[in-house]
């Protein structure tokens, strides 16, 4: 086989690999959508169930019943999509992490039905209920995070990470709705609950800040419009009531339903933004698939019509060595000017050069984009270590990490990594 022909085949294979990677994202987009929809319904179920339990089964009876039906529809859709993954391997490719996180989420759903029974019977603490729902939602969130591993395209990865941060911020808002709702039903907020609520407010704002840094201008504008809306101002007003009265005062339990209504309106508006982001992501993937397919066809045409001389017959030793020519992925001989002199048509060399540079640029962007996601994983793991080793709450764990980072004047991720290294 002539070396030039092998080079052409490898170049075409590289372009096909680009197309296959994008198609894998396109194929698995249905899983992504089903996960985000299910998370939203479970967030609602968590909120209604917490108030139902805190009121000893007197409030939100009908509302919770209706919500269970909505959740079941989303569960059925999610499990159906996961089953399609099992019978259609090309949907997930070689991403074992995506399959594992989907399996864990499916496993947790099996226990949801026994939890619901306990909630109906009011035989479980409302805090335990919130914890279970939050773990289940976090399990579904892990599916989305692992979805990022499928993406090798910087623009898609950017959209995914922006969306992940927004979804996580929205879930922290949902947890705040549940925890504060219980406080209103019980007519008081003890110090531990106040700390938890404050932590949830801080961490959701952090996620939304990251989202704004990554997202397109129009989506950022929509979010800022929501933060300046009457809905958001109502939420802030209730937050101020809680902060002002705190653990020392008795609060009217009727405020629980008002609180739930205004926070649900805010979260539903967030869901609209989430759906817009998801739709944009889906459309972006489809467009990139079309572009990659067209680019592959163009490359095939150009390579087939290339009349470059047989590179294997060239005296390689006479050519200067320039490894930077084709980027860090290649230690190739020669420089483009020399190759041009050896060939009546430099199409193949130009295509190789462009593909190598493009891969290097994509790799650099992907490393930068994924860093924020990796940082959050380190912080979450460090919190889990402290919770397990010191038997403290998540709020206390995060406070310890942040306080130590501030006192040492280093990044939170650096302290988090030290904690992981010291205990594991």
Which residues are paired to 333 by β-bridges?
A: 321
Supply φ then ψ for residue 365, to 5 degrees. Answer: -65, -40
Closest CA to 208 of 196, 193, 222, 198: 222
Residue 368 is predicted with a pLDDT of: 66
State the average pLDDT over residues 355-368: 61
pLDDT in tens, 248-283: 667 777 888 999 999 999 999 999 999 999 999 999
Pick from 8-22, 227-241, 397-411: least confident:
8-22
pLDDT in tens, 126-176: 999 999 999 999 999 988 887 777 677 788 888 988 999 999 999 999 999
pLDDT in tens, 66-95: 999 999 999 999 999 888 877 776 655 666
Q: Which range has highest mean pLDDT (20-24, 204-208, 249-253, 305-309)?
A: 204-208
Residue 315 is predicted with a pLDDT of: 44
State the average pLDDT over residues 368-385: 78
pTM: 0.78
Question: How far, in Å, are 15, 17, 42, 358 from residue 153 at the CA level?
Answer: 13, 12, 31, 11
Banded model confidence at residue 45, pLDDT cuts 50, 70, 90: very high
Give first-to-last CA distance, the chain, whole Å. 53
Residues of the chain with pLDDT > 70, as a percent, come to 79
193 or 166, which is more confident: 166
Phi-psi region of 49 (alpha: psi -120 to 50; beta: other; left: phi over 0): alpha
Residue 330 is predicted with a pLDDT of: 43
State the average pLDDT over residues 398-403: 84
Across the chain, what does the average pLDDT equal?
81
319 or 274, which is more confident: 274
Residue 362 is predicted with a pLDDT of: 59
pLDDT in tens, 54-65: 999 999 999 999
Angle among Cα 397, 401, 405 to the nearest 5 degrees reads: 165
Banded model confidence at residue 354, pLDDT cuts 50, 70, 90: low
């Amino acid at each position: 086989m002539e070396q030039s022909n092998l080079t052409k085949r490898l170049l075409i294979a590289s372009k096909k690999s680009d197309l296959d990677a994008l198609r894998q994202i396109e194929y698995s987009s249905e899983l992504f959508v089903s996960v985000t929809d299910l998370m939203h319904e479970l967030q609602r179920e968590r909120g209604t169930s917490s108030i139902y339990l805190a009121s000893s089964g007197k409030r939100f009876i009908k509302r919770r019943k209706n919500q269970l039906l909505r959740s079941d529809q989303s569960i059925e859709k999610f499990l159906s999509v996961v089953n399609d993954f099992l019978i259609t391997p090309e949907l997930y490719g070689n991403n074992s992490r995506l399959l594992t996180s989907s399996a864990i989420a499916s496993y947790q759903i099996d226990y949801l039905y026994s939890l619901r029974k306990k909630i109906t019977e009011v035989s479980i603490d409302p805090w335990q209920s919130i914890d279970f729902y939050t773990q289940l939602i976090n399990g579904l969130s892990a599916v989305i995070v692992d979805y990022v591993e499928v993406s090798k395209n910087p623009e898609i990865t950017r959209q995914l990470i922006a969306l992940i941060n927004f979804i996580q911020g929205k879930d922290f808002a949902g947890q705040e709705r549940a925890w504060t709702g219980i406080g209103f039903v019980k007519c008081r907020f003890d110090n531990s609950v106040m700390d938890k609520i404050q932590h949830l407010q801080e961490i959701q704002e952090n996620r939304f800040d990251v989202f704004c840094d990554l997202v397109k201008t129009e989506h950022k504008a929509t979010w800022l419009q929501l933060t300046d809306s009457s809905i958001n101002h109502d939420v802030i007003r209730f937050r101020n009531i809680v902060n002002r009265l705190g653990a020392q005062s008795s609060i009217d339990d009727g405020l629980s339903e008002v609180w739930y209504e205004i926070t649900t309106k805010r979260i539903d508006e967030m869901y609209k933004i989430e759906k817009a982001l998801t739709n944009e992501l889906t459309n972006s993937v489809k467009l990139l698939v079309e572009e990659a397919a067209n680019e592959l066809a163009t490359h095939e045409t150009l390579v087939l019509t290339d009349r470059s001389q047989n590179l294997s017959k060239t005296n390689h030793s006479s050519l200067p060595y320039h490894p930077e020519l084709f980027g860090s992925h290649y230690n190739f001989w020669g420089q483009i000017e020399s190759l041009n002199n050896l060939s009546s048509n430099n199409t193949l060399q130009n295509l190789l050069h462009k593909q190598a540079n493009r891969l290097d640029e994509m790799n650099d962007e992907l490393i930068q984009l994924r860093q924020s996601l990796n940082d959050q994983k380190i912080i979450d793991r460090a919190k889990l270590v402290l919770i397990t080793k010191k038997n403290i709450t998540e709020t206390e764990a995060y406070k310890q990490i942040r306080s130590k980072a501030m006192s040492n004047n280093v990044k939170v991720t650096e302290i988090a990594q030290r904690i992981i290294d010291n205990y594991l």
